């Protein structure tokens, strides 16, 4: 079947062609979630960008969360969400909702959209083929918020080598078979690290890392590890941004070439990041 992709005013220049040659065959991990998922037209733009990257021979792995939809379902069920240090506290009742939403609803919707846009895709969670083994994040009973203990990338390599795009929900099990909710940023970072991805991209509802979160003009376009640590110690990076930045740091320390945080609501932000020399959001490098 031919792929009648709509490039929607994204123009391929000689610069673009040289960057395609640079990235063809390489792996890019994209973390998608949060409020960026809310708008269906924005979601379709992201799917189309991924479709273009995939058609050009770039290996894309899509890792997703879905906190906004989880919260909607918790509200319907009269369950109050709880957070600690920017991470969801997950009791058994909440865990059941999290898995239902991430694996049963969001994951399958994304796979369907990708397939519809000519990207053969397979939906997974960390449970499948022992992809992710988890351990508890907090030492407390009835808390199924987990962190990554190990990644078995065999199923990802198998899918990518057969031109299938893995779509991974941030759910995992421990060695005893207990189910855990894994922060999707952490999972994306761990998967990018194991795959030695060329790029790890976090699609957010913010322009990137800013000195003043209320002032877009304070966007920091390029940061190295030393500068990131200084921003943390000076309390410029704080609250819910800390876990995301820590994930960036871990990825860079484990062989990911560059990490990018940018506003996923901007049309063609993914293509601009990979296929142009435009500055998109914040780029973090060693």
How many residues does the structure list for the chain? Answer: 286
Q: Which residues contact 214 (CB under 8 A, 6 or more apart)?
A: none
67 is in an annotated binding site: yes
Cα separation values, 14 from 11, 276, 277, Å: 10, 10, 12
Q: Which residues contact 189 (CB under 8 A, 6 or more apart)?
A: 200, 247, 248, 250, 251, 256
Residue 153, Cβ density class (10 Å: 0-12 exposed, 13-18 middle, ≥19 buried): middle
Residue 233, Cβ density class (10 Å: 0-12 exposed, 13-18 middle, ≥19 buried): exposed
48 is in an annotated binding site: no
Specify whether the CB–CB gap between 184 and 31 falls below 8 A: yes
246 is in an annotated binding site: no
Question: What residues pair up with 169 in beta bridges, in sequence order?
Answer: 64, 125
Specify whether the CB–CB gap between 66 and 33 falls below 8 A: yes
Q: Which residues contact 213 (CB under 8 A, 6 or more apart)?
A: 206, 241
Q: Which residues are annotated as a binding site?
A: 66-67, 88, 181
Q: Which residues are annotated as a binding site for substrate?
A: 66-67, 88, 181
């Amino acid at each position: 079947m031919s792929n009648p992709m709509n490039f929607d005013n994204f123009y391929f220049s000689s610069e673009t062609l040289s960057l395609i040659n640079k990235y063809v065959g390489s792996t890019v991990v994209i973390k998608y979630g949060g409020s960026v998922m809310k708008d269906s037209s924005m979601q379709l733009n992201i799917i189309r960008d991924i479709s273009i990257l995939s058609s050009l021979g770039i290996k894309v792995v899509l890792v997703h969360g879905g906190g906004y939809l989880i919260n909607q379902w918790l509200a319907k069920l009269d369950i109050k969400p709880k957070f600690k240090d920017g991470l969801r506290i997950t009791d058994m009742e909440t865990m059941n909702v999290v898995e239902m939403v991430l694996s049963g609803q969001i994951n399958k919707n994304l796979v369907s959209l990708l397939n519809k846009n000519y990207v053969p895709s397979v939906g997974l969670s960390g449970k499948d083929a022992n992809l992710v083994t988890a351990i508890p994040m907090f030492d407390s009973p009835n808390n199924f918020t987990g962190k990554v203990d190990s990644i078995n990338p065999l199923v990802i390599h198998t899918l990518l080598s057969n031109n299938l795009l893995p779509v991974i929900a941030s759910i995992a099990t421990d060695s005893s078979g207990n189910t855990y909710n894994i922060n999707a940023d952490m999972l994306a970072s761990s998967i990018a690290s194991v795959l030695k991805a060329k790029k790890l991209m976090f699609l957010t509802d913010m322009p990137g890392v800013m000195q003043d979160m209320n002032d877009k003009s304070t966007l920091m376009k390029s940061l190295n590890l030393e500068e990131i640590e200084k921003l943390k110690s000076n309390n410029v990076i704080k609250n819910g941004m800390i876990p995301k930045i820590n994930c960036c740091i871990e990825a860079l320390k484990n062989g990911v070439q560059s990490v990018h945080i940018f506003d996923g609501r901007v049309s063609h932000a993914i293509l601009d990041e990979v296929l142009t020399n435009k500055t998109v959001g914040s780029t973090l490098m060693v």
